[in-house]
Amino acid sequence: MLKVCKFGGTSMANADAIRQVKKIIESDDSRRYIVVSAPGKRNKSDVKVTDALYACHEELLKTGSCKKSFAVIRERFTEIVKELGLTLDIEKVLDQTEKDIDTEKSVDFTASRGEYLSAVVTADYLGYKFMDALEMIRFDSHGKLNEDYTDDKVSIKLAPVERAVIPGFYGKDFQGKVKTFSRGGSDITGSIIARGVKADIYENWTDVSGFLVCDPRIVENAKPIKQITYKELRELSYMGAQVLHSEAIFPVMKGRIPINIRNTFSPEDAGTMIVPNEMYDTSAENVITGIAGKKNFTVLLIEKSLMNSEVGFIRRVLSVLEHYDLCVEHLPSGIDTLSVVISSEQLKGGVLSDLVNEIRESVSPDYIHVIENISLIATVGHGMARRAGTAAKLFTALKDAGINVRMIDQGSSELNIIIGVANEDYEKCIRAIYGAFVK
């Protein structure tokens, strides 16, 4: 058994948290490769190290030096090393890091130093080898992960190393410079390492015991999800369920490696297992797996008689959207109708009225109706397609709650049902669906 473990910012926030991390690692000999984030907040009023590093870059651009802002970074890591009782010369490491930030003048390089320093300290504390992500993770000239090259590099570099700590969040671009993933990208690093070493399990340790069926701020004591498939996770993550970075599943999905979301501060909890379809335990299957959603969408309802027989109609509508550089969330359609769902954030500053006018000019519709302040809610479940009456049960629950459904969209996989409701009905809608399916 071989496990790759990634520990998030709360797990690295201070010396006590790092001691807990060490206990977890040493309790299972198969936990050999450790990926770490930058230290997160120690309390609600604290600052994440990554945010403090972005402040360093801003100071550098204004004054030519990051010295004042870097003092926050220096204090954090000096305190951690001291409280852990390490003999590591952290001042020397920090001096070099500050100098490198001033020299590189790169926002990606600066932001990456939180993970770098975290990994240096953790490797020293565990007695593991420090392996820089720069030696393994590569991006191509378009800024995309070079998957095959990276996979080979991880395999080659780590094969002779029995135990290692790797900083998350960054790699090397085609010019040899540091490039970061998007925020939360240490999850992706962990997934990449897991695939490269052909791990049996990728454990992602955070401050929650896995995924919950829905947002606990909306439904009190929402039940945990014991297992979920890659596809279900994609649907829920896309709709706002953010325990794991949405891109982190792709490397392990290709390697068919399960992800186990665990809680650093409650390691006895089993957490959530994210698995490929063939590993899914159907004996424990529920009708739905999870409920997630987002607020503030705009729906353009386009109507035109005989739309279905007009060649290129949808293409012309989408060309207008492309002209305005707009992303489409959903595109439900009927014989003579087409609904275009767009995040309202993209339609500010007069873009909405310009967009409607250009669509009118392009496709000459009979009617365009703009519906604003819409929330999208996805009900996701591996078992939905095999259970008769699922949709009826869902819409009965919404009817009983007095919720007017403005839009319905179901994917061809029958893995989810997405509905659009008014923003003011968002929380009530989630509670109604949860109450209908979760006992």
In angstroms, how far apart are the furthest CA atoms of the chain? Answer: 77
Across the range 316-341, mean pLDDT stands at: 92
Share of the chain above pLDDT 70, in %: 98
In the CATH scheme, what is the homologous superfamily, with its name and number, of domain 290-437? VC0802-like (3.30.2130.10)
Across the range 387-402, mean pLDDT stands at: 90
Q: How far apart are CA 48 and CA 277, in angstroms?
A: 37
Q: Which residues, other chains included, contact 42 with Cβ-Cβ below 8 Å and sequence gap of 6+?
A: 13, 14
Across the range 88-107, mean pLDDT stands at: 97
Reported as a pLDDT band with limits 50, 70 and 90, residue 338 is very high
Encode 204-242: b = buried (16+ Cβ within 10 Å), e = exposed: bbbbbbbbbbbbeebbeebeebebbbbbbbbbbbebebe
- 414 close to 384: Cβ distance less than 8 angstroms: yes
What is the amino acid identity at position 414? E
Bridge partners (DSSP) listed for residue 303: 337, 367
pLDDT of residue 203: 97
Reported as a pLDDT band with limits 50, 70 and 90, residue 413 is low
Which is higher by pLDDT, 245 or 67? Answer: 67
Delimit the domains of the chain by residue range: 3-280, 290-437
Across the range 106-118, mean pLDDT stands at: 98
Q: How far apart are CA 279 and CA 294, in angstroms?
A: 30
Q: How far apart are CA 4 and CA 27, in angstroms?
A: 14
| Predicted confidence (pLDDT) at residue 243 exceeds the cutoff of 80 | no
- Triad 285, 252, 51: Cα angle to 5°: 105
| Predicted confidence (pLDDT) at residue 411 exceeds the cutoff of 80 | no
pLDDT of residue 248: 86
What is the per-residue pLDDT across 19-52, written as a single tens digit (0 to 9) for each? Answer: 999 999 999 999 999 999 999 999 989 999 999 9
pTM of the prediction?
Answer: 0.85
pLDDT of residue 356: 96
| Predicted confidence (pLDDT) at residue 170 exceeds the cutoff of 90 | yes
pLDDT of residue 13: 97
| Predicted confidence (pLDDT) at residue 316 exceeds the cutoff of 80 | yes
Rounded to the nearest integer, the mean pLDDT of the chain is 93
| Predicted confidence (pLDDT) at residue 285 exceeds the cutoff of 90 | no
- Domain 3-280: top CATH class: alpha beta
16: enclosing H helix or E strand: helix 15-26
Q: Which residues, other chains included, contact 214 with Cβ-Cβ below 8 Å and sequence gap of 6+?
A: 222, 290, 291, 292, 430, 434
Q: Which residues, other chains included, contact 127 with Cβ-Cβ below 8 Å and sequence gap of 6+?
A: none
Which is higher by pLDDT, 17 or 288? Answer: 17
Q: Which residues, other chains included, contact 96 with Cβ-Cβ below 8 Å and sequence gap of 6+?
A: none
Across the range 390-411, mean pLDDT stands at: 90
pLDDT of residue 101: 97
SS3 294: strand
Across the range 284-306, mean pLDDT stands at: 89
pLDDT of residue 388: 77
Which one of 155-159, 281-285, 309-313, 383-387 scores highest in mean pLDDT? 155-159
| Predicted confidence (pLDDT) at residue 389 exceeds the cutoff of 90 | no
| Predicted confidence (pLDDT) at residue 330 exceeds the cutoff of 90 | no
| Predicted confidence (pLDDT) at residue 409 exceeds the cutoff of 90 | no
Reported as a pLDDT band with limits 50, 70 and 90, residue 391 is confident
The total number of residues written for the chain in this structure: 439
